[in-house]
Amino acid sequence: MAWTKNVLRVNLETGTCTTEPLNQTWAQDYLGQRGLATKYLVSEIDPKVDPLSPQNKLIFVTGPLTGTMAATGGRYSVVTKGPLTGAIACSNSGGYFGAELKFAGWDMVIFEGASPKPVYLLLMDGKAELVDASHLWGKTVWETEETIKKQHQDPQLRVASIGRAGENGVLYAAIVNDLHRAAGRSGVGAVMGSKNLKAFAVRGTRTDAYQVADPEGFFKAVDAGKAVLAANGVTGQGLPTYGTQVLMNVINELGALPTRNHQDIQFEGANNIGGEAMHLKRPTDGKANLVTNGACFGCTIACGRISRMDPGHFSVKDKPQYHGASGGVEYEAAWALGAANGVSDLEALTYANFLCNEDGFDPISFGATVGAAMELYELGLLTKEEVGFELPFGSTEAMVKLAELTAKGEGFGKLIGLGSKRLCTKYGRPDLSMTVKSQEFPAYDGRGLQGMGLAYATSNRGACHLRGYMVSPEVLGIPVKMEPQATEGKPAMLKAFQDLTAVVDSAGICLFTTFAWGLQDIQPQIQAACEGDWSEERLLLVGERIWNLEREFNLSAGLTCKDDNLPPRLMKEPAKTGPQKGAVSKLDIMLPEYYQLRGWDKQGVPTPETRTRLGV
């Protein structure tokens, strides 16, 4: 009952929208959101398809807890084959869009083909319509959202759209909803752009679209869950006060903060760009960067950063459109725009982050690619003539300039928009690309935290911190403390985290709850909302099934065990400073054990027994 049991299929080529019932067998096997949409995608597209061709599909999907009072129950995902990686792409977003889609009566919307001209989908409860978007093409996310609301005289519409990055084929373009919440990684926005789909606007007012199966049990479980989040130091205090930026100084001091394209493992400017710095009054105008914290739909944590820039900062001096408050930097963005390229100007990072939101591109991949370009420049492989300006590490002006050029596909920004793997390959040094499966690392060094290295190498969507967050045990001691340099027990812990994460991502709630919640807190909420018996064992089996389904897709797409790897820098160049000094990744020790625990053969292929056991 927590599913609406309705799927909308939009054929962009013919311009037709059709309704079909949700495959409920699949809902029982894959729960919802990430798992369920992956099952649909895998069943409907050729894994070898060109991600930017009309043959690829783009799925917006909610989970059974989306649009309920479960804390953080507002998530949706976008699932497709990713253009950056050539692997499965699944990007998760918060804000208010996901819940609105559910209120309108839909579990999932599947976009097929490509439209001959720019369009957007207008979905008012059961009424779906493709509307001409010629006047929106070339506009930013912020302009698009405002224009659509005005055009339909409906300020309560929720809009997810692409900016110029998605239109111009930036391979890590994002889909942004509610101005600054994003399905950010793996280039889902580029797929949307390739389909000439500018935006998706939805308004949901139905009261009969879905129900929780056992209301009394649901509220009991949900209230208990909220109490756990409120009492926990991370979700109750750390995240609301500092956002994910609570990590900047912690990770730096631990010696796991990748700096200047992973040449260093600690950043001397970390203190200037972290969560504490956002609270400090600026000497220039006496105001703090941080205005307040904000929540996504249904979230009782509220980690979101709402920032206001110094209007006198060089980057926005004559640009009043950036003087108001908007989405500020969270940890991964602050790291990528800052430490990854040696920039420690918080205002500049905030401006670049505004641009990422405004024009829809992933600050992690962007910032990390700038870092790679800076190393190529310092090695003399890239010249000032090619770039158009000087590009040394630490150049705030260069980072800002590239943020302005990239979404528009202008000048050297065109190459930055292809990501670091393609950039470094072009200049003859693919080894300098700090990526897995061509996707850039986020803000933890795989040498400093051995488990994170394994998590990156094995992540199904390329380097990612959100597929198995080994920072929890290795830094925060959740659920148990593991030493950063230890390898023992890490493959097993990672497998457990990956499977649990797949469940969380398929349920409609936010992964950040797992700083406080274990499966014992989540299971009663799913059980009370959904029909049937959802034991902890069954949920973990669902998670494992999802992980293996994604793996099978990647293998069919042409990826192999050779892609479960880390760049040579992490394997061979020892960390230079800090508590992890001398460390290199011990991936070669952990990976065989991981394969074995997964029930995969030495080539990383699920064995026939594993396939049978999981029904994949």
Partner 1 sequence: MQKSLHIDPNKCTGCLQCEMACSWENYRSFTTAKSRIKVFSFHEAGRFVPYTCTQCDEAWCMTACPVDAIKLDPVTGAKIVLDPTCVGCKVCTIACPFGTINYVAQSGKVQKCDLCDGAPACAKACPTAAITYVDADWTGLEKMRQWAGKTDTNPATV
Tell me which residues touch partner 1 (CB under 8 A).
Answer: 67-69, 71, 96, 99, 103, 156, 179, 203-209, 211, 215, 226, 230, 240, 291-300, 302, 304, 306-308, 324-326
Q: Which is nearer to partner 1, 297 or 412 (CB)?
A: 297
Residue carrying structure tokens 């912020």: 142
CB of 103 to partner 1, least distance (A): 5
Q: Residue 222 or 372: which CB sits closer to partner 1?
A: 222
- Cα–Cα distance, 252 to 235 (Å, whole number): 21
Q: What is the dihedral of CA 327, 452, 458, 87, to 10 degrees?
A: 20
Please name every residue paired with 199 in a beta bridge, in sequence order, or none if there are none. 120, 161
At its nearest, how many Å lie between partner 1 and the CB of residue 525? 14
Q: Using the minimum distance from each CB to partner 1, give the nearer residue, 218 or 441.
A: 218
CB of 488 vs partner 1, minimal distance in Å: 40
Q: Which residue lies nearer to partner 1 by CB, 95 or 567?
A: 95
Give me the least distance between CB of 299 and partner 1, in Å please: 5
Q: How many CB atoms lie within 10 A of CB 48?
A: 11
At closest approach, how far in Å is the CB of 68 from partner 1? Answer: 6
Contact 215, 69 (CB under 8 A): no
Q: Closer to partner 1 at the Cβ: 359 or 552?
A: 359
Six token digits for residue 230: 């409120």
Q: Which is nearer to partner 1, 68 or 506 (CB)?
A: 68
Q: Which helix (H) or strand (E) holds 10?
A: strand 6-11
CB closer to partner 1 out of 71 and 170: 71
The CB density around residue 318, as the number of other CB atoms within 10 Å, is 6
Q: If DSSP codes are grouped into helix, strand and coil, which group holds residue 160?
A: strand
- Closest CB 168 distance from partner 1, rounded Å: 26
Which pairs from 303-310 meet CB under 8 Å and 24+ separation? Answer: 303/239, 303/240, 303/243, 303/244, 303/330, 303/512, 304/243, 304/330, 305/243, 305/245, 305/278, 305/329, 305/330, 307/278, 307/350, 309/347, 309/350, 309/351, 309/354, 310/282, 310/284, 310/285, 310/347
Q: Closest CB to partner 1 among 103 and 456?
A: 103
CA distances to 195, 471, 521 from 135, in Å? 16, 45, 47
Which one, 236 or 371, has the nearer CB to partner 1? 236
Report how far residue 22's alpha carbon sits from residue 323's, in angstroms, rounded to the nearest whole number: 45
Nearer to partner 1, 304 or 606 (CB): 304
CB 2 within 8 A of CB 69: no
Least distance to partner 1 from the beta carbon of 294, Å? 5
Smallest gap from Cβ 156 to partner 1, in A, equals: 7
Q: Would you say 103 or 497 has its CB closer to partner 1?
A: 103
The Cα 2–Cα 308 span in angstroms is: 39
Asked if the bond preceding 479 is cis, omega within 30° of 0, the reply is: yes
Write down the H helix ranges in 360-434: 363-378, 384-387, 396-406, 413-416, 420-426
Which of 468, 460, 535, 538 is CA-nearest to residue 90?
Answer: 460
- Tell me whether residue 7 or residue 99 sits nearer to partner 1 (CB atom): 99
C-beta separation of 278 from 241 below 8 A:
no
Neighbours of 233 (CB within 10 A): 11
Instruction: Report the interhelical angle of 490-507 vs 519-529 (nearest 10°).
Output: 30
Minimum gap (Å) between residue 143 Cβ and partner 1: 14
CB of 194 to partner 1, least distance (A): 30
The minimum distance between CB 323 and partner 1, in angstroms, equals 8
Closest separation between CB of residue 241 and partner 1, Å?
Answer: 12
